[in-house]
Amino acid sequence: MSMAAEKTDAALLNPALSSPIKISMRNNGYTLGDLVEMRAEFDLKKGLAFDTNSTPLKGPVNHWLDLRKVNMRASQNADKSAHITLDFTWQIFGTVEMAQRVYIPAIVLQTLPPEASDAKPITITIPAQGFYLSPVLPTTIEETNHRPHARPLKFDTQTPMNTALFCFGTGLLLSFIGLWLQDKISWWPRNPGPMTQLARMIRNHPTTTFNTQQLRAIHTALALSARQSLYPNTLENLFKSCPYLSTEKTEITDFFITSWQLFHSQENMTGAISVSATKAWIARAAMAERIAGRQAKKIATSTMGLLKKDLFKKVDAK
């Protein structure tokens, strides 16, 4: 393009100027964080005044460039036209992988409108200015082998899982112990009575016949429940001592009389006693024994509480 064409284009772009804008700046050797100093000089046509409020404000221009400082100076030419000098200071906040040409955006200024006239301000445009931005780290011609990235740390799932299982198991164990101390486990009472111990003993007995030793064990459990030796004529004492066995009175009486006759008979008649029926009333008697024992504990606890209250009242009265 010829010099005449350049002047024509500049005149069309900035009709308020008497000559093209002169830009002074270094256009290479910049990197991340550097300051770019740029000076723009231009002459206004005679009779025009520059609008100082049209200069750009300090602050971010885009995501990688900030305007840090703007200084403006005005002087008068020999023909009384205005000569304007603008000093810009930019700062770079971006980098590149390879050296490349980047551009400061175009700056739009304007003149003041003439007084007592409907004429509008005239725009003055400083073209975008390019410069070369270099990467932060220079490239090398040698091939380098970088150490591979360390693998991310694995989250320890085993320790929390083991802790949760331990806490869960401990909670179950403590709950089981608490229920056992309160005697609320039907199949494992804390203080089993004679009938409960007997039910445990014959639970796994084969359902065929009882031998003499097993029959004597049942008699022993009944005697321990009554807290005395039992005979056919004293069997009624069992139901007086253990009212909770009254519901099984018929079955217990039949068993007691039949087994008593077998003890004193010369013949082996152990098959005369039904094993399944005997195991059934023993299981029911054991359950009744446990329920009665639990109720007796509650009554004893409430009685002890009442005695303590009466004792405290007597002490307070004294």
Nearest 10 degrees: Cα torsion 286, 290, 292, 297: 160
User: CB-based burial of residue 258 (10 Å sphere; 0-12 exposed, 13-18 middle, 19+ buried)?
Assistant: middle
Of 179, 200, 180, nearest to 289 by C-alpha is 200
d(CA 276, CA 203): 10
- What's the pLDDT at 83? 94
- What's the pLDDT at 291? 83
Tens place of pLDDT per residue across the chain (318 aa):
433 334 444 445 678 888 899 999 999 989 999 999 999 999 998 888 899 999 999 999 999 999 999 999 999 998 888 999 999 999 999 888 888 999 999 999 999 887 766 778 889 999 999 999 998 876 565 666 667 777 877 777 888 889 999 999 988 888 878 776 666 665 566 667 888 888 888 877 676 788 888 888 889 989 988 889 988 898 898 888 888 888 888 999 998 888 888 887 756 555 678 888 888 898 898 888 888 887 777 776 676 666 666 666 666 665
Alpha carbon separation from 162 to 155, 156, 157, 165, 194 (Å, rounded) = 14, 11, 9, 5, 43
pTM here?
0.42
What are the residue ranges spanned by the domains of the chain? 3-133, 194-317
Q: Which CATH architecture has domain 3-133?
A: Sandwich (2.60)
- What's the pLDDT at 263? 80
- What's the pLDDT at 37? 96
- What's the pLDDT at 2? 38
- What's the pLDDT at 72? 94
CA-based torsion, 288, 290, 295, 296: positive or negative: positive
- Containing 224, the helix (H) or strand (E) segment is helix 212-226
Alpha carbon separation from 166 to 128, 174, 175, 245 (Å, rounded) = 71, 12, 14, 44
